[in-house]
């Protein structure tokens, strides 16, 4: 069924994709422990392999917008010249294959590891919208209004550097999975009483201001936002996310109708866990966001198969993000189109650290199998 919309071109921002299969953002632990510099020798090969089918959109793993945004060992950053220079080699390699690459902008908020922060810089605090902790971590300090405004500028600077210095085609604001933007949006993590908490409008304010700041820095057509309305990962999960996310997406549409795309995590996925259909309540659907955002580009991520990806692309018009199977099939776009068997992935290699090829750049292409 190669006439499926999944294999047809679509315009995303100022880019024309040759099909509707994208690489989902995936943390792979392939940056230096302290400097958070991508290991170019393997990272460049990893992304260029997955961009080998021209016209493919790749979304990077989350890159920290600043040291204070929360750091994880072996995760990449986007705030030093050395980091930007490494990323430039990666983007050049992807562009040489005729494909495109967006950088995901990451700030952890209360999901950061306080000990890792202190190792980086003893002055760094664990922070969030409110002093509400994740069950297994310390209680964060609530951000001051001044610090919130500083974050706007940090996001804008990171976006500008990603596009204008590192050569990315655009940026995706990580507003999903219980990280900083998501924390402000949801009432389970935001109990502020100022202009950034309380009402839906106030809780959405931070995320909308971040989008505004990034758009000012790089333009709407180079800006995207990821969100996960139904996820309970990182102790998230409002009783009814529909009113909040309806307002949030409606405001993004009103302010920036030509945004590159919105990226949704499907309800069946929460963190690294995929739920079976009988575990999902009938009301848990992202269709309310699709209805608001249509006919604009929308990426959907969530344990897709070839069949479910084609069905969703054909019936809803979505672009489909593949993660785990894109790891083990660098030419998954070709395999899906030709209905070829997919190489199984090895979860034990997902987070191997260092400049290692195993489970990263050693999966074969179909032509080499």
| Enzyme catalytic residues | 179
Cβ partners under 8 Å of residue 166, min gap 6: 78, 84, 87, 88, 91, 103
Query: What is the pairing mode between strands 261-265 and 319-322?
Result: unpaired
Full-model pTM: 0.96
C-alpha to C-alpha distance for 345 and 233, rounded to whole angstroms: 23
CB atoms within 10 A of CB 316: 15
3-class DSSP state for residue 226?
strand
Residues 172-194 have pLDDT tens digits of: 999 999 999 999 999 999 999 99
Alpha helices in the chain (DSSP H): 40-50, 81-96, 114-120, 145-164, 180-185, 200-218, 242-255, 287-293, 306-316, 324-328, 332-338
Cβ partners under 8 Å of residue 233, min gap 6: 177, 178, 270, 271, 273
Cβ–Cβ under 8 Å, residues 169 and 101? yes
List the chain domain ranges: 5-368
Cβ–Cβ under 8 Å, residues 289 and 262? yes
Match 């260029």 to its residue by tokens. Answer: 48
C-alpha to C-alpha distance for 168 and 163, rounded to whole angstroms: 5
Query: What is the pairing mode between strands 57-64 and 298-301?
Result: unpaired
C-alpha to C-alpha distance for 83 and 172, rounded to whole angstroms: 18
For position 224, what pLDDT does the model report?
99
Query: Buried (b) or exposed (e) across 263-297, using 16+ Cβ within 10 A?
Result: bbbbbbbbeeeebeeeeeeeeeebebbbebbeebb
pLDDT digit string (tens) for the chain, length 369 residues: 579 999 999 999 999 999 999 999 999 999 999 899 999 999 999 999 999 999 999 999 999 999 999 989 999 999 999 999 999 999 999 999 999 999 999 999 999 999 999 999 999 999 999 999 998 789 999 999 999 999 999 999 999 999 999 999 999 999 999 999 999 999 999 999 999 999 999 999 999 999 999 999 999 999 999 999 999 989 899 999 999 999 999 999 999 999 999 999 999 887 667 777 767 777 889 999 999 999 999 999 999 999 999 999 999 999 999 999 999 999 999 999 999 999 999 999 999 999 999 999 999 998 755
Specify the DSSP class assigned to residue 281. Answer: -
Residues 265-306 have pLDDT tens digits of: 999 887 667 777 767 777 889 999 999 999 999 999 999 999
Radius of gyration for the chain, computed over Cα atoms and rounded to the nearest angstrom:
19
> Distances in Å between the alpha carbon of 323 and those of 23, 87, 111, 274, 315?
6, 20, 22, 13, 22
H or E element, residue 63: strand 57-64
Residues 14-29 have pLDDT tens digits of: 999 999 999 999 999 9
C-alpha to C-alpha distance for 78 and 357, rounded to whole angstroms: 23
CATH architecture designation of domain 5-368: Alpha-Beta Barrel (3.20)
Provide, rounded to the nearest whole percent, the portion of the chain with pLDDT above 90: 92
Cβ–Cβ under 8 Å, residues 131 and 141? yes
Cβ–Cβ under 8 Å, residues 229 and 245? yes
Task: Report the residue count for the chain.
Answer: 369
């Amino acid at each position: 069924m190669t006439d499926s919309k999944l294999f047809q071109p679509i315009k995303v921002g100022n880019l024309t994709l040759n099909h509707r299969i994208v690489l989902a953002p995936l943390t792979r632990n392939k940056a230096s422990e302290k400097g958070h510099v991508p290991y170019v020798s393997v990272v460049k090969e990893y992304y260029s392999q997955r961009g080998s089918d021209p016209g493919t959109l790749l979304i990077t793993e989350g890159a920290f917008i600043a040291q204070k945004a929360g750091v994880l060992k072996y995760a990449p950053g986007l705030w030093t010249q050395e980091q930007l220079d490494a990323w430039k080699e990666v983007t050049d390699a992807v562009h040489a294959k005729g494909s495109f690459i967006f950088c995901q902008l990451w700030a952890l908020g209360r999901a950061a590891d306080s000990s890792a922060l202190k190792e980086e810089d003893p002055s760094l605090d664990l922070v969030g919208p409110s002093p509400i902790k994740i069950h297994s971590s310390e209680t964060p300090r609530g951000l001051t209004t001044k610090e919130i405004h500083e974050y706007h500028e940090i996001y804008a600077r990171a976006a500008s550097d990603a596009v204008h210095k590192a050569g990315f085609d655009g940026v995706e604001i990580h507003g999903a999975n219980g990280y900083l933007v998501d924390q402000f949006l949801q009432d389970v993590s935001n109990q502020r009483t100022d202009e950034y908490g309380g009402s839906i409008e106030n809780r959405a304010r931070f995320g909308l201001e971040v989008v505004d700041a990034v758009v000012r820095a790089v333009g709407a057509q180079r800006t995207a936002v990821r969100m996960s309305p139904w996820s309970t990962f990182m102790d998230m999960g409002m009783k009814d996310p529909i009113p909040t996310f309806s307002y949030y997406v409606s405001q993004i549409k009103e302010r920036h109708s030509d945004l590159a795309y919105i990226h949704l995590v499907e309800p069946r996925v929460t963190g690294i866990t995929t739920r079976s259909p009988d575990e999902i309540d009938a009301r848990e659907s992202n269709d309310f966001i699709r209805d608001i955002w249509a006919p604009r580009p929308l990426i959907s991520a969530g344990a897709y198969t070839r069949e479910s990806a084609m069905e969703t692309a054909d019936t809803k018009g979505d672009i489909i993000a593949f993660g785990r199977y894109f790891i083990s099939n660098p030419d998954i776009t070709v395999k899906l189109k030709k209905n070829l068997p997919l190489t199984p992935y090895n979860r034990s290699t997902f987070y191997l650290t260092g400049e290692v090829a195993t489970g990263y750049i050693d999966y074969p292409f179909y032509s080499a199998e």
